[in-house]
Amino acid sequence: MDFTFTEEQQAAVEAARAVFSGVAPDRVPSPALTPGAIADDFDRTLWHKLAEADLLSLPIAPEHGGAGLDPIALCLVLRESAKVLARVPLLEAGAAALTLQRYAADELCAEVLPRIGAGDLVVTVAAHGRTGHEPADLAVEAHQEGAEWVLDGIQTAVPWARTTDRALLPAHTPEGHAVLALVPRTHPGVTLDDQVSTSGEPLAEVRLDSVRISAREVVTDPAAWDSLRHVLTTGTCALALGLGERVLAMTSDYTSKREQFGFPVATFQAVACQAADRFIDLRAMEATLWQAAWRITTEAAGPLPIAGDVAVAKIWASEGVRRVVQTAQHLHGGFGADTDYPLHRYHAWAKQLELSLGPAAAHEESLGELLAAHPLG
């Protein structure tokens, strides 16, 4: 397995590190101390910096003003963003851009992709369905009436739905086919009810009551929803990896300075073994992440469909990031619970990422179904 990244991908990482170097996680309001959402909006200042650095347009084709890079590049940037708990809809906007570019009509692509890349049009994605425990495309019904589509249903836990411009959401037709609709936030028939994530970020339940949108704003390719879900899930794994790497680095720094009986606690065997186990978790998270991202990018054949590699990556990401932050809290002792120290913020983010788009158990079930349908030789 070759983990060498291209020069363009490495350049994207360097640009991301330069932008994110100015973000201080301990300046973000604490979800443990803030009733309700920690802020009304995402970090607009950081969003404009990402746009100026051409990082929002990375996955967008050159004809629409982008760099034309792949999901691997997006995951590399997401990995860096999670290290500083960047409060921006980078995953949602990037996944939406990749999906629209591949499956939407040329007219819609020409209209929205340049604006997404410039940061002028912010798109989020609804991917959790009505309850978070069912296929998201079954939560909304869609049927066509002439040149319009009519949408009815509910999507829950939509990130930053009150402050983004449009939401790309899945729905199902009477025939049972999945479609994607790009719905403006202020469109007639759209109602938003406030929700709050485990990490303290604002979410919303999006209700659609006979919402009518033009046919050109609906993506009808049957592969579009699966593709979007794969990118979102793999991107979540990239966020979990970046967060876990930063937390383990914080733990290493703390235990190398904290002394007991005249020695750094990092030299104690019990501490070193726990840290080593978490390092192994991160390497497994990394290997499975890039395998999934590579399959999505190349669509290479494998013993299982792409969904199998995505499921394996999410299993490792969910379990691994949970173990990393739990061990970090343990090895930090009481200092880890100090709200003046950013570790508790990382813990809250880790729990959100662990459960987002399905916990490990849900993906283990999906993997089992794939193995039953595609027995390995």
Reported as a single tens digit per residue, the pLDDT across 295-345 is 999 999 999 999 999 999 999 999 999 999 999 999 998 888 888 889 999
Strands (E), 54-185: 123-125, 140-145, 148-159, 166-172, 178-184
- The model's pLDDT over 15-27, given as tens digits with 9 standing for 90+, comes to 999 999 999 987 8
Q: Do residues 28 and 38 lie in contact, with contact meaning Cβ atoms separated by under 8 Å?
A: yes
Pull the structure tokens for residue 181: 């609709």
User: With DSSP H G I counted as helix, E B as strand and the rest as coil, what are the percentages for the chain, rounded to 5?
Assistant: 55, 15, 30
State residue 83's pLDDT score.
Answer: 97
Q: What are phi and psi of 303, to 5 degrees?
A: -65, -25
Decide: 229 and 307 in contact? Cβ < 8 Å. no
The answer to whether residues 88 and 46 touch, using CB atoms and an 8 Å cutoff, is yes
CA-to-CA separations, 25 to 85, 131, 327, 345, in angstroms, rounded = 6, 30, 20, 8
* The pLDDT of residue 367 is above 70: yes
Burial of 25 (0-12, 13-18, 19+ CB in 10 A): middle
- Alpha-carbon span 322 to 350, nearest angstrom: 6
Does residue 276 carry a pLDDT above 90?
yes
Q: What is the pTM of this model?
A: 0.96
For residue 181, list its beta bridge partners.
169, 218
Closest to 74 (Cα-Cα) out of 231, 223, 182: 231
Rg value, the chain, Cα: 21
CB 202 within 8 A of CB 40: yes
pLDDT, tens only, 161-217 = 999 999 999 999 999 999 999 999 999 999 999 999 999 999 999 999 999 999 999
pLDDT band at 256 (very low <50, low <70, confident <90, very high): confident
Pairing verdict, β 123-125 and 166-172: parallel
**Sequence letter at residue 375:** P
Contact between 167 and 183 (Cβ < 8 Å): yes
370 pLDDT band (50/70/90 cuts)?
Answer: very high
11 has a pLDDT exceeding 70 = yes
Answer whether residue 250 shows pLDDT above 90: yes
Beta strands (DSSP E) in the chain are: 123-125, 140-145, 148-159, 166-172, 178-184, 190-196, 202-214, 218-219, 259-260, 263-264
Residue % of the chain over a pLDDT of 70: 99
Confidence of residue 2 (pLDDT cuts 50, 70, 90): low
Whether the predicted pLDDT of 132 surpasses 90: no
Q: Which residues contact 238 (CB under 8 A, 6 or more apart)?
A: 74, 75, 76, 78, 79, 82, 289, 293
Please state the rounded mean pLDDT for residues 370-377.
Answer: 89
Q: Is pLDDT at 65 greater than 80 in this prediction?
A: yes
Q: Is the pLDDT of residue 227 over 90?
A: yes
pLDDT at 377 over 90: no
24 CA to centre of own chain: 20
Helix axes 360-373, 306-332, angle to 10 degrees: 150
Query: For 267, which DSSP code?
Result: G
Task: Identify the H or E element spanning 325.
Answer: helix 306-332
Average pLDDT, the chain: 95
96-127 pLDDT, tens per residue? Answer: 999 999 999 999 999 999 999 999 999 999 99
- Structure token digits, residue 76: 């590399």
Q: What is the pLDDT of residue 1?
A: 59
